[in-house]
């Protein structure tokens, strides 16, 4: 790709903006890091490296460097070749997967609104573009890309921090075949923020899909679903926010429905899915009043529509919302009794049903995407983790606690792998190393998830929930007391009157204890499951597959224990892959471009540990690989190591490093691995490896091109012979000679190329004789292109400053389609007449056979018919009309003479041409192993000789075919005078200007 070194997306801005890789910063302080990021951000460079870690700052606008051109630029390029970019990291992941046969993953972390979801989209888009594959692979690619709008519709919402905040965690594995084609995939989703379905904070919205259905559904759908304006629904009107800047809910709805179609969700399931979405909205409008300590539905009219949409009985819905079946045991006997609920309990039950419906619909969509992409055997994969960012709101509840816990676990992985593990590895391998201090947040993770000694916050929470009764009265206060007793003295924990404070890696967060137990318990009572199993819609019944008749044993699973299990499973999955990191930074709270809040950026730089990351990177080694893998990759560099090294692996590695003259201070050999200090040293190895492969590839290409060219030219010459076969005697040197095409050296003749169109290809170019009405011979340059025939002459300038100089003049241009026919004699001369609509041209060229074969091809391509050729020893050609006179015809008479040289004798309107006998008309070149065989007619052995052209000398620039020595054919020796090897010098002619 020649354009790679020329094109640069930063080329519009010649000013150097900070440093691309912050390992190169002269001062390593938080202020220097923030200043560098700010400088680049203000100049629209949103990506910066710390070694292999990518820092991405949210620009809050569309950037111009995510086009196909950038994909082409970064594909296969080394990291240092181009500016920092998410495509460079993705390409590195993809190539590492193919080279090392190892699974890869990218961990995208940062605050809510820092740009994590967009980063994940760019990664998926890049992989989709650069990987090959047929229709099946394209189907998987479509699903990978279409899963984004579908999951965003059902899983994202506007928060005060972010207009498109992911309210669920997603780990997307793109699975690949051995050839690197994406042929499968798998999504793991984590704790959906179900509470958002029933309540939102001020200036926030519910999940996007609710507004999409209201804005984008057709009039018919609106009627069927009972759609009203958003302010009508209690589940939407609490926050007072319905629109989002830059979001078109109506257009997004069409994309969501299209995504369902691509993923393969059946039409009836799509319809019933929308009924569930609308049914949830209508459920929210059911309100309750207190009547003698018991609740009853305030307006029974509002029960009809949700019951209709969900396919359940209206009276049963009313019953299950206001009462609950309880199992009681008396004297070893069990019996069920109906307990009437109070107003608070009824509201809780309604909300629990709405949340369960939504969460199960979301799980169904994830499962549908997985089914559409699943493959039987997992080979390679690239995982993309897009998970909710760290959150600190005015009021932080149970959801923020879970979200921040998962982010704490991800920070722990980052520390484990980039700081702790790296330093431990140096010690294990016996590498000289000065340890670097950093904050290890394992202490915070233990505070939250420890099981015993002391029990963590989640264990205490589960214990309290196990003893909880129907409502949360007093449970939250009890939780706070137990937490104070269990972890009150922990250095990262404080309590306050309404909850507790945790000192996270990203700062202190105060959590409001109110609702913790209720949301953690997350129980869906059997009555509601039974109610939904009675639905007349099969799709809705399938979302509630529980068997209620089985004996219930053990504690129900809590939301906290579920997210703890999922977080640890995720960590295990990530640890099995080669990790890559994107650290996203949110530069402001205004969501406006070029707005930089210094304190906010500095806070993120501190808690993301960027300073420690740079220090470890600078002091450490950019690259490490076990000896065997290093040998396997770079063995090709020396003959001693390729195809395999005989001896100790460590000595083989040392031999390779010395063979490329790498400085000894650039590498260290550990016990099992080689460590290379600077990326530039690694790039040297990679470039030398590429060069080796390039040499081998060129050798193979050269042999293949030679074979193809030989076959092509043999075919061309045979086709040329067929044109004159049985019609015209042949010259000895015209039967088995090389076709060159360009005999004028057009590449170096701008004075001739000026008459051609830009980039017009030259099929044939030769200096010929043109005869006028008086049979006077004039030199002309004859050029044949796919568009036409050019005849170029020379004239002396008569006036002006250039007076007396010779200048090239276009004498005639003939369109291919305007040629009517070509006439030739039956003798071995080189004359031919081009017949055209206006007048004819009499020309003489020793390369007439080659010219005619190319002309016939071009004529047939343009007119879809064969060019008429006539052979006669009496030819006529029409003259050009000039002024009042001119016109008329001239005659050519061909007769037998002596020798191979033409004798011309003009007489009035007739030109007599005499020439001796040539080779028989039936002579034809048939090529085997490069030698000419004459199979179509009798021929004399002595006539199979080449003869050097005698008629004229060629200009110095002409590429005349060389005539080689003659050797016998395969299959046995032959007399030296009878056969010759076909000369292959024509293979060295550049493609531009070659005939055919």
Which residues form the catalytic set? 112-113, 117, 162, 165-166, 389, 391
**What are residue 296's DSSP bridge partners?**
289
Cis previous bond, 176, omega within 30? no
**Spatial CA neighbour of 477 closest among 446, 499, 458, 506:** 499
Distance between CA atoms of 249 and 216, rounded to whole angstroms?
7
Burial 263-283 (b: 16+ CB within 10 A, else e): bebeeebeebbbbbbbbbbbb
∠ Cα 530 531 535 (to 5°): 110
Give the whole-angstrom CA distance, residue 533 versus residue 545. Answer: 8
Cβ(583)–Cβ(53) below 8 Å: yes
Distances in Å between the alpha carbon of 13 and those of 16, 304, 591, 802?
8, 64, 25, 46
CA distance 522 to 508: 27
> Annotated binding residue at 278?
no
Tell whether 110 is in a known binding site. Answer: yes
Give the C-alpha separation, 611 to 594, whole Å. 24
114 is known to lie in a ligand binding site = yes
CA pair distance 824, 672, nearest whole angstrom:
80
The DSSP result for 259-324, as a single string, is HHHHHT--HHHHHHHHHHHHHHHHHHT--EEEETTEEEES-GGGGHHHHHHHT--HHHHHHHHHEE
Tokens for 740? 């060159």
Reduce the DSSP state of residue 829 to 3 states and report it. coil
CA 85 to centroid of chain Cα atoms: 13
Q: Which of 741, 618, 544 is nearest to 22 (CA)?
A: 618
Dist. CA 740–CA 716, nearest whole Å: 11
Q: Is 609 helix (H, G, I), strand (E, B) or coil?
A: coil
Contacts of 701 (CB under 8 A, 6+ apart): none
Q: Which of 118, 116, 156, 125 is nearest to 252 (CA)?
A: 156
112 is in an annotated binding site: yes
Calculate ∠ Cα 260-261-264, nearest 5°. 85
Distance CA 383, CA 389 (A): 18
Rounded Cα distance between 659 and 652, Å, is 11
Task: Report the sign of the C-alpha dihedral through residues 723, 725, 730, 735, in that order.
Answer: positive
Count Cβ atoms below 10 Å from residue 378 Cβ, excluding itself.
Answer: 13
Kind of pairing between the strands at 104-110 and 578-585: parallel
Is 115 within any annotated ligand binding site?
yes
Is 486 annotated in a binding site? The answer is no
| Nearest residue to 361 via CA among 239, 217, 213 | 213
Query: Residue ranges for the binding site for ATP?
Result: 110-117
Query: Which residues carry a binding-site annotation?
Result: 110-117
């Amino acid at each position: 790709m020649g354009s790679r070194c020329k094109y640069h997306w930063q080329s519009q801005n010649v000013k150097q903006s900070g440093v691309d890789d912050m390992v190169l910063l002269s001062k390593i302080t938080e202020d220097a890091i923030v200043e560098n990021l700010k400088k680049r951000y203000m100049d629209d460079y949103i990506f910066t490296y710390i070694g292999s870690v990518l820092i991405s700052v949210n620009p809050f606008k569309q950037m111009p460097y995510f086009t196909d051109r950038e994909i082409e630029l970064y594909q296969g390029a080394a990291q240092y070749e181009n500016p920092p970019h998410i495509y460079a990291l993705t390409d590195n992941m993809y190539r590492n997967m193919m080279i090392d046969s190892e699974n890869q993953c990218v961990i995208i972390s940062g605050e809510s609104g820092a740009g994590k979801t967009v980063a994940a989209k760019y990664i998926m888009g890049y992989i989709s573009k650069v990987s090959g594959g047929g229709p099946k692979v394209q189907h998987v690619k479509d699903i990978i890309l279409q899963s984004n709008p579908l999951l965003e519709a059902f899983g994202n919402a506007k928060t005060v921090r972010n207009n498109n905040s992911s309210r669920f965690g997603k780990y997307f594995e793109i699975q690949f075949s051995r050839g690197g084609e994406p042929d499968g995939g798998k999504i793991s989703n984590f704790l959906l923020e179900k509470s958002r379905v029933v309540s939102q904070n001020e200036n926030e919205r519910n999940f996007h899909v609710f507004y999409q259905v209201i804005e984008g559904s057709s009039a018919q759908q609106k009627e069927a679903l009972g759609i009203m304006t958003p302010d009508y629904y209690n589940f939407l009107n609490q926050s007072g926010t319905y629109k989002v800047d830059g979001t078109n809910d109506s257009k997004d709805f069409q994309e969501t429905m299209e995504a369902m179609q691509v993923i393969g969700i059946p039409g009836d399931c799509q319809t019933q899915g929308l009924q569930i979405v609308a049914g949830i909205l209508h459920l929210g409008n059911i309100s309750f009043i207190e009547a003698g300590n018991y609740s009853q539905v305030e307006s029974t009219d509002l029960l009809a529509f949700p019951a209709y949409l969900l396919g359940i009985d209206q009276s049963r819905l009313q019953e299950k919302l206001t009462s609950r079946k309880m199992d009681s045991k008396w004297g070893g006997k069990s019996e069920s009794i109906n307990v009437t609920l109070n107003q608070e309990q009824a509201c809780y039950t309604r909300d629990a049903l709405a949340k369960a419906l939504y969460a199960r619909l979301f799980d169904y969509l994830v499962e549908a995407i997985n089914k559409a992409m699943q493959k039987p055997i997992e080979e390679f994969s690239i995982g993309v983790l897009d998970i909710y960012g760290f959150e600190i709101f005015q009021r932080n509840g149970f959801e923020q606690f879970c979200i921040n816990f998962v982010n704490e676990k991800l920070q722990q992985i980052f520390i484990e792998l980039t700081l702790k593990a790296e330093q431990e590895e140096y010690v294990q391998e016996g590498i000289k190393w000065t340890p670097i201090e950093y904050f290890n947040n394992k202490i915070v993770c233990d505070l939250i998830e420890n099981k015993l000694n002391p029990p963590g916050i989640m264990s205490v929470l589960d214990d309290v929930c196990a003893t909880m009764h129907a409502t949360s009265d007093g449970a939250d206060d009890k939780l706070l007391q137990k937490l104070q007793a269990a972890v009150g003295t922990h250095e990262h924990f404080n309590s306050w009157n309404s909850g507790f404070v945790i000192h996270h890696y990203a700062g202190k967060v105060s959590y409001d204890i109110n609702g913790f137990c209720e949301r953690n318990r997350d129980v869906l009572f059997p009555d509601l499951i039974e109610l939904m199993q009675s639905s007349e819609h099969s799709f809705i019944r399938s979302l509630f597959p529980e068997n209620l008749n089985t004996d219930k044993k053990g504690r129900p699973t809590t939301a906290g224990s579920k997210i703890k299990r999922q977080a640890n499973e995720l960590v295990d999955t990530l640890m099995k892959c080669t990790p890559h990191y994107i650290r996203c930074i949110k530069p402001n709270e205004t969501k406006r471009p070029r707005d930089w809040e210094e304190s906010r950026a500095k806070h993120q730089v501190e808690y993301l540990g960027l300073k420690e990351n740079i220090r470890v990177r600078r002091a450490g080694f950019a690259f490490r690989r076990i000896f065997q893998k290093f040998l396997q990759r770079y063995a090709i560099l020396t003959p001693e190591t390729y195809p395999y090294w005989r001896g100790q692996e460590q000595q083989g590695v040392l031999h390779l490093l010395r063979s490329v003259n790498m400085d000894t201070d650039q590498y260290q050999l550990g016990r099992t691995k080689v460590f290379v200090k600077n990326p530039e040293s690694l790039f040297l190895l990679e470039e030398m490896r590429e060069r080796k492969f390039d040499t081998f590839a060129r050798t193979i290409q050269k042999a293949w091109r030679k074979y193809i060219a030989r076959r092509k030219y043999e075919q061309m010459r045979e086709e040329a012979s067929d044109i004159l076969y049985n019609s015209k005697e042949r010259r000895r040197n015209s039967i088995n000679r090389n076709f060159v095409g360009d005999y004028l050296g057009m590449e170096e003749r701008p004075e001739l190329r000026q008459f051609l169109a830009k980039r017009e290809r030259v099929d044939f170019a030769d200096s010929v004789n043109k005869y006028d009405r008086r049979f006077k011979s004039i030199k002309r340059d004859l050029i044949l292109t796919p568009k036409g025939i050019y005849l170029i002459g020379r004239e002396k300038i008569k006036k002006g400053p250039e007076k007396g100089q010779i200048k090239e003049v276009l004498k005639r241009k003939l369109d291919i389609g305007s040629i009517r026919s070509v006439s030739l004699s039956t003798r071995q001369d080189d004359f031919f007449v081009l017949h055209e609509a206006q007048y004819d041209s009499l020309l003489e060229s020793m390369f007439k056979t080659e010219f005619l074969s190319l002309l016939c091809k071009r004529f047939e391509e343009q007119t879809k018919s064969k060019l008429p050729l006539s052979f006669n020893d009496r030819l006529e050609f029409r003259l050009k009309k000039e002024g009042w006179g001119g016109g008329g015809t001239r005659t050519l008479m061909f007769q037998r003479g002596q020798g191979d040289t033409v004798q011309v004798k003009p007489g009035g309107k007739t030109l007599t041409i005499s020439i001796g006998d040539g080779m028989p008309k039936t002579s034809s070149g048939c090529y085997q192993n490069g030698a000419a065989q004459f199979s179509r007619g009798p021929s004399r052995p002595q006539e199979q000789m080449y003869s050097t052209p005698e008629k004229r000398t060629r200009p110095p620039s002409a590429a005349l075919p060389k005539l080689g020595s003659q050797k016998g054919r395969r299959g046995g020796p032959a007399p030296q005078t009878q056969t010759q090897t076909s000369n292959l010098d024509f293979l060295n002619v550049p493609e531009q200007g070659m005939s055919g």
